[in-house]
Amino acid sequence: MEAKPPSFALMPQYALPLQPQGVEIVLWHLLESQREGHEWALHFPQRQTTSMSAARQAEHQAVASALTQLLGHPDWHLTHTNDGKPQLHVRDESSAQAVSISHVRMGKDVWAAVAMWNDGDTPGGIDLVLTDDARVTRVAPRVMSTQEQSKWRGCEAWAWATKEAMFKGHGPELEFQSQALLKDCTGIPGDEAGTLRGKVRETPWSGSWCRIRERLLLVWGA
The per-residue pLDDT for range 114-149, each reduced to its tens digit, is: 999 998 889 999 999 999 999 999 999 999 999 999
- CA 201 vs CA 72, 126, 175, 179, 211: distances in Å: 36, 18, 9, 5, 27
Amino acid at 110: V
Q: Helix crossing, 134-143 with 156-170: angle to 10°?
A: 60
SS3 185: strand
Residue-wise pLDDT tens digits, 30-70: 988 787 777 899 999 999 998 999 999 999 999 999 999 99
The conformation of residue 4, written as its DSSP 8-state character, comes to P
pLDDT for position 11: 54
**Number of Cβ atoms within 10 Å of the Cβ of 19:** 12
Show the beta-strand stretches assigned E in the chain: 2-3, 13-14, 18-19, 23-30, 76-80, 86-90, 97-98, 100-106, 109-117, 125-130, 180-185, 193-200, 203-212, 216-221
> Closest Cα partner for 77 from 39, 32, 109, 45?
45
What's the rounded Cα separation, in Å, for the pair 129 and 23? 20
pLDDT for position 40: 94
pLDDT for position 4: 42
What's the rounded Cα separation, in Å, for the pair 52 and 191? 38
Residue-wise pLDDT tens digits, 8-31: 334 589 999 888 999 999 999 998
Residue-wise pLDDT tens digits, 74-121: 999 999 999 989 999 999 787 899 999 999 999 989 999 999 999 888
pLDDT for position 7: 35
Q: What percent of the chain has pLDDT over 70?
A: 95
Q: Are 69 and 76 in contact (CB under 8 A)?
A: no
pTM above 0.85, yes or no: yes
pLDDT for position 95: 86
Residue-wise pLDDT tens digits, 148-180: 999 999 999 999 999 999 999 999 999 999 999
